[in-house]
Chain A
Amino acid sequence: MADLTTLQGLRRSPLHDMAAELRGGPVPGERAVRLLEWPYLTMVSLRVEPGSDTARRIEGVLGTGLPERCGDVTGEGAHSVLWLGPDEWLVVSQTAPESLVASLRSATVDGRAQVVDISANRTVIEVSGRAARAVLDKGCPADLHPRAFADNTAITTSLARVPVLLWKIDAHTFRVMPRASLAQYVAAWLLDAALEFASPLPAGQAPAAEGA
Chain B
Amino acid sequence: MLQIECPWCGLRDETEYHYGGQAHVAYPEDPSALSDEEWAEYLFFRDNPKGPFAERWVHSGGCRKWFNAVRDTRTYEFLAVYTSNDPRPDISSLASADTAGATA
Contact = CB atoms under 8 A, between A and B. Distances in A.
Interface residues of A, number: 12
Nearest to B62: A156
Contacts of A24: none
Contacts of A156: 61-63
A157 B8 contact: no
A86 B8 CA distance: 7
A163 B6 CA distance: 17
Nearest to A156: B62
A70 interface: yes
A141 B16 contact: yes
B16 A85 contact: no
Given A141-B15, A141-B16, A157-B16, A70 B10 contact: yes
B12 interface: yes
Interface in A77-126: 84-86, 88
Nearest to A71: B9
A157 B62 contact: yes
Interface string B30-66: 0000000000000000000000000000000111110
29 contacts: A70-B8, A70-B62, A70-B63, A84-B63, A85-B63, A85-B65, A86-B8, A86-B63, A86-B65, A88-B64, A141-B1, A141-B12, A141-B13, A141-B15, A141-B16, A142-B12, A142-B13, A155-B9, A155-B62, A156-B61, A156-B62, A157-B12, A157-B16, A157-B61, A157-B62, A158-B15, A158-B16, A158-B61, A163-B61
Interface of B: 1, 6, 8-10, 12-13, 15-16, 61-65
Interface of A: 70, 84-86, 88, 141-142, 155-158, 163
